[in-house]
Amino acid sequence: MNIAIVGTGYVGLVSGTCFAETGVNVTCVDVDVDKIERLRNGDIPIYEPGLDEMVLKNVKAGRLKFSSDLASVLNEQEIVFSAVGTPPDEDGSADLKYVLQVARTIGENINRYMVVVTKSTVPVGTAAKVRKVIQDEIDRRGVDVKFDVASNPEFLKEGNAIKDFLSPDRVVVGVESEQAKKILSRLYKPFLINNFRVIFMDIPSAEMTKYAANSMLATRISFMNDIANLCELVGADVDMVRAGIGSDTRIGRKFLYAGCGYGGSCFPKDVKALIKTADDNGYSLEVLKAVERINERQKGLLFEKLKKAFNDGCTERGKTDGVALHGKTVALWGLSFKPETDDMRESTALVMIKLLKDAGCIVRAYDPIAMDECRRRVGDTVIYCRDMYDAVLGADALILLTEWKEFRLPTWGVIAKAMNRHLVLDGRNIFDAEELKDAGFEYHCIGK
Ligand SMILES: NC(=O)C1=CN([C@@H]2O[C@H](COP(=O)(O)OP(=O)(O)OC[C@H]3O[C@@H](n4cnc5c(N)ncnc54)[C@H](O)[C@@H]3O)[C@@H](O)[C@H]2O)C=CC1
Ligand SMILES: O=C(O)[C@H]1O[C@H](OP(=O)(O)OP(=O)(O)OC[C@H]2O[C@@H](n3ccc(=O)[nH]c3=O)[C@H](O)[C@@H]2O)[C@H](O)[C@@H](O)[C@@H]1O
């Protein structure tokens, strides 16, 4: 079976490589000529554990190829996946220009039956738009070619992408014909292990499923963050509450971790897009509007705690709220929006760096992987440190934003000697409060 994946971002590259792993001949296509050249030279542009080796293995086996010209490879394919970006427009809706560009190229060049599948996260109605763009181009050319459109949203998580793709909980496929269903069933057959299921449905339901899934997960996080903030006020411990409610199988244990807010390329964008879809249809998604507000507040919460810690300790006359932070050195551990990725899109670190710089702080930052990405985004406004211990040198406070494994068991004695003031703010609740207290630290976390 020959398939093409258009767009070699996270989703395109991971899904293309995983399909190749099952014996399918895959051509990954991107308009970014430099990216394709890098990929051809074995240089993988994203950080994803295990991906490099898997790409190289499948390239060597001749099952994975790269091209910057969709037109020239299109008619060798049975299925073409579109996995291009759908960034948020100014009004929050998903920008479909790349998706429709791909459709146009397909319409301009298609001369055999194929299934055109949208893998990108797109609002309900997009497959119909894709169908129309392709058909208009076919009509313009005056040829008679049949094709089907389909929707196959992707649920993988960055950092765990290969496992998520190869052993998914389920695959959702929206189809409009029996022929498309048969072809896509065949493609996913090698994945039929464990309890994995392909759920076929109509196309609008498949498109909606993706937004509903991400919005539900974002809602769980904002709900727990809201409960965490209340726990602090009433003397409860959110981690105990999580254990207590997560053991109810109706609720489940996953995605209930309170913290310093969700980020990434998807939750913030998809929640916004679903709110916009509802608004456009004259309906207000009240829960999701609150989910967004809570998340924005949560990203600033550790800064508020930091300000409070400094102002509470400030006895000098004339000091006003926040002024006590001016000139203080703050160490940041973790810059990416979550561990195992260098992705900083919508990360809490970006919000925190801005708040700290605006307050006149000196920021010393360390992340195992995302330092180059941070430099690309905020330049040299922060000091990039060699390691986590280098970051705390002379610091008046340490703030943990991303729960990378290497941060989990620090040697507090060494850190105490290096820091100017023994203040730790833990945005992911990974440290042991007793241990920190014994080492002489003032410790603040989320929801307890
Ligand atoms: N990043 C993730 O973890 C997940 C992303 N998604 C969704 O998948 C889609 C893709 O996301 P990412 O992989 O993160 O995107 P990305 O933005 O990292 O990459 C998109 C790629 O598409 C290429 N492209 C744009 N126009 C093109 C065209 N006309 N022809 C060929 N290539 C073109 C770009 O050059 C870029 O390399 C989005 O809709 C996203 O919401 C879904 C699940 C997980
Ligand atoms: O549509 C997408 O692109 C993807 O979005 C998320 O995946 P991802 O953004 O890679 O990362 P997650 O692991 O979901 O984490 C997102 C954010 O939520 C935060 N989070 C997660 C879980 C939790 O309990 N608490 C919490 O604050 C993380 O720290 C992170 O900032 C979904 O989990 C994927 O299923 C989906 O395919």
pLDDT in tens, 215-270: 999 999 999 999 999 999 999 999 999 999 999 999 999 999 999 999 998 999 99
Kindly state the average pLDDT of the residues 50-79.
Answer: 96
> How many CB atoms lie under 10 A from the CB of residue 234?
6
Kindly state the average pLDDT of the residues 178-184.
Answer: 97
What CA–CA distances, in Å, run from 203 to 200, 211, 212?
9, 13, 14
Which of 158, 75, 213, 124 is closest to 347 using CA atoms? 158
What's the rounded Cα separation, in Å, for the pair 316 and 295? Answer: 34
Ligand 2, atom 7, lies closest to the CA of 157
Kindly state the average pLDDT of the residues 36-42.
Answer: 94
Domains 212-296 and 300-444 share a fold: yes
The fold for domain 300-444 equals Rossmann fold (3.40.50)
Pocket test for ligand 1, best of 17, 27, 29, 30 (most atoms within 8 A of CB): 30
Tell me what the pLDDT averaged over the chain comes to.
Answer: 94
Band of pLDDT at residue 47, cut at 50, 70 and 90: confident
* DSSP 8-state secondary structure symbol assigned to residue 88: B
* DSSP 8-state secondary structure symbol assigned to residue 190: G
What's the rounded Cα separation, in Å, for the pair 14 and 46? Answer: 10
What's the rounded Cα separation, in Å, for the pair 136 and 361? Answer: 57
Domain locations along the chain? 2-201, 212-296, 300-444
pLDDT at position 321 over 80: no
Cα of 176 from ligand 1 centre, angstroms: 24
What's the rounded Cα separation, in Å, for the pair 25 and 66? Answer: 11
pLDDT at position 320 over 60: no
Cα of 263 from ligand 1 centre, angstroms: 17
Band of pLDDT at residue 183, cut at 50, 70 and 90: very high
pLDDT at position 212 over 50: yes
Ligand 2, atom 35, lies closest to the CA of 155
What's the rounded Cα separation, in Å, for the pair 56 and 22? Answer: 15
pLDDT at position 363 over 90: yes
The set of residues, in sequence order, having a beta carbon less than 8 Å from that of 140 and lying 6+ positions away, is 107
Q: Which of 18, 260, 266, 385 is catalytic?
A: 266
Domain 2-201 in CATH 3.40.50.720? The answer is yes
pLDDT at position 196 over 70: no
pTM score: 0.92
pLDDT at position 314 over 70: no
**Superfamily of 212-296 according to CATH:** NAD(P)-binding Rossmann-like Domain (3.40.50.720)
Kindly state the average pLDDT of the residues 82-87.
Answer: 94
Nearest-Å Rg of the Cα atoms of the chain is: 24
Band of pLDDT at residue 169, cut at 50, 70 and 90: confident
Query: Is the model more confident about 218 or about 46?
Result: 218
Ligand 1 contact, 89 CB (< 6 A):
no
Q: Which ligand 2 atom sits nearest the alpha carbon of residue 347?
A: 31
The set of residues, in sequence order, having a beta carbon less than 8 Å from that of 362 and lying 6+ positions away, is 327, 328, 329, 330, 383
Q: Which pLDDT does position 317 carry in this prediction?
A: 45
What's the rounded Cα separation, in Å, for the pair 35 and 33? Answer: 5
Q: Which ligand is nearest to the CA of 255?
A: 2
Phi, psi of 7 (to 5 degrees): 105, 115
Q: What angle do CA 370, 34, 69 make, to 5 degrees?
A: 130
**Global ipTM:** 0.96
H/E stretch holding 201 reads strand 197-201
The set of residues, in sequence order, having a beta carbon less than 8 Å from that of 266 and lying 6+ positions away, is 121, 214
pLDDT at position 318 over 70: no
Ligand 2 binding site (Cβ under 6 Å of any ligand atom): 121, 154-158, 214, 217, 221, 255-257, 259, 262-264, 266-267, 337-338
